[in-house]
Every structure is written in C-alpha cells, then in structure tokens.
Structure 1
Amino acid sequence: MDLTIEYTKRDALAILTLQKPPANGYDIDMLTLLATYITEIEADLQVKVVQVRSSNARFFSAGADIKVFGSNTTEQNTAMVVAARRASDLIQHSSKIYVAAIQGHALGGGLELAMACDIRLAAEGTYAIGLPEVKLGLMPGNGGAVRLIDLIGKSRALELLLTGDSISPQQAYAYGLFTKLYPEATFGQEVEQYLATLALGAGQAMAAIKRFSRLSMGLDQQQGLALEKECVDRLYDTEDAVEGFKAFIEKRNPNYK
C-alpha cells in the first residue's frame, strides 16, 4: 500500500512529506497517519525540528479531498474534521519545532496545517494561499480562523475569511503569514540550510520558548512574567545550559544533544 505521508529522519531533523496525488487532499486515513507520525516523533528525544513538506511542487496541500467530503455522510465529515483538528493540536502542543516548507498551493485545510506549524518557509511564485471555505457555505474548522487572526491581524484575516479569496506568496509574506520568502530557484537549498542551522540549537530551550509563546497569549504583563520565570527556571540545570555556558567560555560552537 502506498503511504500518503513519508516519514524520514536525519539526526535531530524529522521530515514529513505529503505525497497524495494530485493535490495532497487529505482524508481521514491520511490524517490518522499524520497523527501517528507526530506522536512517534514527539516520543523521539533525538528530534528537535520537524519539516512538513510536499513531494508535489505544485501543491503543498489543497486541504480536505472535496470528492471524499462531498460523498461522505455528515458523521463521516465530522470525524474527518475532528481528525484534522487533532493533528493540528498535536503540532501546536508538541515540544518540537515544526517548519512548513511551501512552494505550491496551500488552501483550506492545507493552509490550516501550515499555520499550525511554528515557522513557514515559502518560495516565491504564482501559487495561491487562502481559506476558501466560505465559498462552500462553510468556514475554517481546524483552527484556521483563530490562527490566521493571530498571525496577520483581525482586519486582514477577516477580509480573507469573508471573501474566500486567495493571495500570492509575496502578499502572504508581507502580511506576516510566511516567516521567510526565498527565490524559487534556490528554495530547496535555502530551506535545507535553515533547517540544518535550527536543528543545531538547544532543543530544551527551544521547546521552552515554544511553550511560552503558546501559553503567554492573552496574559497580562505580570502573568507573562510569571510564566517566563517558570519556563526559564527549568532550564538552568539542563545539559543544554551547561554546554551553552561552557562553549561560550571556551569560545567554540556548542554541541547540543
């Protein structure tokens, strides 16, 4: 049986490659496999960074497979939405840093998956970025509305949600939806270098920073300071902190485990 997602690993970097032709449109089996891989990666103490990418240069993901969605019962579609939400929540609450690498259309649930990741690296091009659910009489249901507002602000997000219109990768970068925008010709090389550098970082500190960024939203200053103290206090006696200070004193690059 052909797997719709390939899982590979290189030291501290795990790679999830979406590979379901023609557009990486997901169904419940694909989402279940994704959740299984995410859970497996979370238990792997060696992994610090996870790349989510596509084997198809034209599509990152078009979201839910519309043909499947249209032929399903309401109960089946509800189960698929629940599975999609679970995968996104697992990514958001993971201690690993998830990086989406996008060089093709990211629409609907595909964009929602990318927004659940911590970092989005994108290639320049003419492909479409959007949440078109309103054109089907729906709205994003996998956290897309909440995350889009958090990432680009209420005004711009509301326009995209209400119209269902798509934007270009250049516009998505200008809005702050994409973290980096690379030339199409050098995209693969740039992403590989970015991930290699990130994977050399202090994994426990990176996990603490991700946890802080997630839990600090909506807190007032005093609450935020208390959470920051809690997060950093856990790091002082870690092997990463010991190695970081030692490397600084010895004027060498740290070797984080």
Structure 2
Amino acid sequence: MPHVEYHAEGGVAQLTLNVPPANCYSYAMMQDLDAAILRARFDAEAHVIVVVGAGEKFFCAGADIRMLKGADPTFKYNFCLHANETIARLEQTPKLVIAALNGHCVGGGLEIALAADIRIARRGAGQCGLPEVALGVLPGTGGTQRLTRLIGKSAAIELMAEGRTMDFDEAHKLGIVNKVFDAPSAADFVGQVREYAKRFVPPAKASLAVGLLKRACQTGGELGLLDGLALERELQQRLFQSSDATEGLAAYVEKRTPNFTGR
C-alpha cells in the first residue's frame, strides 16, 4: 500500500499521507508524495490539490525520528535534500494547493503545510509548531525559510527558538493558518475542505488563472521587483491566449456568468 494515497474527484486531487500512527515521513513516504504531486500536476482533470493526513489525530508529526537516529550522516543529508525538493515541487506546481490540517501538524508536518498556498485547520484537533530545537537540530525542510517569509523574522525566530507548539486558533491569529473550521470529525472536516476547494474548480473559477497567479506570487515573490513584473507579464500573456480569458471577457461584456473550463 502506498504511503500517500491519490484520489481525484470533482476537479480536486486529494493526497492523503497514510503512515500510521502519526503519518511521519520517511524516504519511502517522500518518494510516494513526490510521485503523487507529479501525478496531480499531469492530471488534466485535477484543478486543485488538497493534502491531508489519514486518521483523526495527525496531519503529520514530521520526520520518522527512529529512522533518522539509525541513519548515517550521508543518508540524512540526502534524505533532507530530497524532502526539500519534493516540498518545493508541491509549492511550485501551477495548481492551487490546500493543506487540510485534520490533526497535529508539527515539525516536518508543518513544513509540508507551509509549502501549500492555503492552510485550513480543524478547530481543537491538535497542535502545530516547529519544535526541532528540542532535538538539537533546526527545521531543515524549509521551515526556517518559509515561516520567516510568512510571519516575519523576529516572530519566526522566537517560535522556533522556544520550540513552542500552539493550537490552531493561535496559529490563525499569527497568520500561519488561513482558516479554522469547526467539524465533529476528521472526515467531516475533509469534506468541508473539499467543498471549499471546489470554489476554485471550473466552471465556477478559471483554475488556469488561479494556478498561474499562484506561480506569479510563489516564484515572483523571491525575485526583485523588475524580474517579478517581467514574470507576471509573461504569465498574463499565457492567460490572454487561453480559452478561459476569451470566455471571461465575453461573459463580462454580455453580462452573464462565465463558464470556465480551466484551459
């Protein structure tokens, strides 16, 4: 059975981290996640990607510490390198990515979630944070960089140096989590997230435009202003040539609801 299950329906590709009991990731799990991300990229019927953890208690508790304890330094380095490459692939995929935090999301689990475009959490379902300092290491799968960019340098350093975890409501106040949903169970929560994700699926939304504006922000945000503006213009030109742009402009002039196809 794969460590990451892939299921696409209604324009939403769901990637479920399934490594009981805490969905901790190993090299094998990261290989499966990498493959699932690529599958979602190439799936023409998948317009939005939702990443969730299996079960009621955990989104992901980070790397498998027992596996790392027994590994040599060379393996550890390559393991972290591959994990970084996999998460960056998720971040750079030109489709909206939503992390559905159905349970505890700590360490490497939060690092995966930080690579998503939108993070939605289930109220009262767990804690999140980057407590790696308690193990004598730092958040090495993008945590130091993405958290700093998300909430600012001083706040990020404070949270990581303290190694403190927090509930999702506090994470929402800090801007780490975008939305917090109330749900009686993890299954209900995932259903709510999938319904939210469908807002970005054709015919209601021009998903190609959503995907490219995501690329303009994710990639352009790391460039200087002039380079970022150049990227924005090129992506806009791609959209001008799309069927959805033709449909959107026509619908506006004709005062009707557009019927987007994602192409």
How has the CA–CA distance of structure 1 residues 223 and 78 changed in structure 2, closer, same or farther, with 3 Å as cutoff?
A: closer
| Matched position secondary structure for 2:68 | helix
User: For residue 124 of structure 1, what is the amino acid of its counterpart?
Assistant: R
User: Matches of 1:68 and 1:196 in 2, distance apart?
Assistant: 38
User: Matches of 1:115 and 1:3 in 2, distance apart?
Assistant: 23
Task: Quote the offset at 1:232 in angstroms.
Answer: 1.4
| Matched position secondary structure for 1:121 | strand
Alignment partner, residue 187 of structure 1: 189
Alignment partner, residue 210 of structure 1: 214
User: Matches of 1:39 and 1:204 in 2, distance apart?
Assistant: 17
| Matched position secondary structure for 1:112 | helix
Paired residues of 2:7 and 2:15 also in contact (CA < 8 A): yes
Paired residues of 2:3 and 2:17 also in contact (CA < 8 A): yes
| Matched position secondary structure for 1:252 | coil
User: Matches of 2:17 and 2:222 in 1, distance apart?
Assistant: 33
User: Matches of 2:261 and 2:251 in 1, distance apart?
Assistant: 10
| Matched position secondary structure for 1:125 | coil
How has the CA–CA distance of structure 1 residues 103 and 230 changed in structure 2, closer, same or farther, with 3 Å as cutoff?
A: same
1:252 aligns with 2:220: no
1:87 aligns with 2:61: no
Alignment partner, residue 237 of structure 1: 241
How high is the sequence identity, in percent, across the aligned residues? 34
Task: Quote the offset at 1:219 in angstroms.
Answer: 4.7
How has the CA–CA distance of structure 1 residues 233 and 137 changed in structure 2, closer, same or farther, with 3 Å as cutoff?
A: same
Alignment partner, residue 21 of structure 1: 20
Which ranges of structure 2 fall in alignment gaps of 5 or more residues?
none
User: Matches of 1:202 and 1:255 in 2, distance apart?
Assistant: 5
Task: Quote the offset at 1:11 in angstroms.
Answer: 3.9
| Matched position secondary structure for 2:156 | helix
Higher mean alpha-carbon deviation, 9-18 vs 242-251, is at 242-251
User: Matches of 2:143 and 2:260 in 1, distance apart?
Assistant: 37
Which ranges of structure 1 fall in alignment gaps of 5 or more residues?
none
Q: Deviations over 1:71-128 (max 9, x none)?
A: 1122222222122111111111111111100021111111000001111111111511
| TM-score, normalised by the number of residues in structure 2 | 0.91
| TM-score, normalised by the number of residues in structure 1 | 0.93
User: For residue 195 of structure 1, what is the amino acid of its counterpart?
Assistant: A
How has the CA–CA distance of structure 1 residues 55 and 167 changed in structure 2, closer, same or farther, with 3 Å as cutoff?
A: same
Q: Deviations over 1:142-183 (max 9, x none)?
A: 111110011111121111111111111001000111111111
User: Matches of 2:228 and 2:60 in 1, distance apart?
Assistant: 35
Q: Deviations over 1:164-223 (max 9, x none)?
A: 111110010001111111113363343122111122321221121011102322555544
Q: CA RMSD in A?
A: 1.7
User: Matches of 1:189 and 1:92 in 2, distance apart?
Assistant: 23
User: Matches of 2:166 and 2:96 in 1, distance apart?
Assistant: 26
Task: Quote the offset at 1:240 in angstroms.
Answer: 1.1
How many matched pairs?
Answer: 256
Paired residues of 1:125 and 1:184 also in contact (CA < 8 A): no
User: Matches of 1:163 and 1:18 in 2, distance apart?
Assistant: 28
User: Matches of 2:33 and 2:228 in 1, distance apart?
Assistant: 33
1:44 aligns with 2:43: yes
Higher mean alpha-carbon deviation, 153-162 vs 228-237, is at 228-237
Alignment partner, residue 197 of structure 1: 199
How has the CA–CA distance of structure 1 residues 224 and 36 changed in structure 2, closer, same or farther, with 3 Å as cutoff?
A: closer
Task: Quote the offset at 1:234 in angstroms.
Answer: 2.0
1:67 aligns with 2:72: no
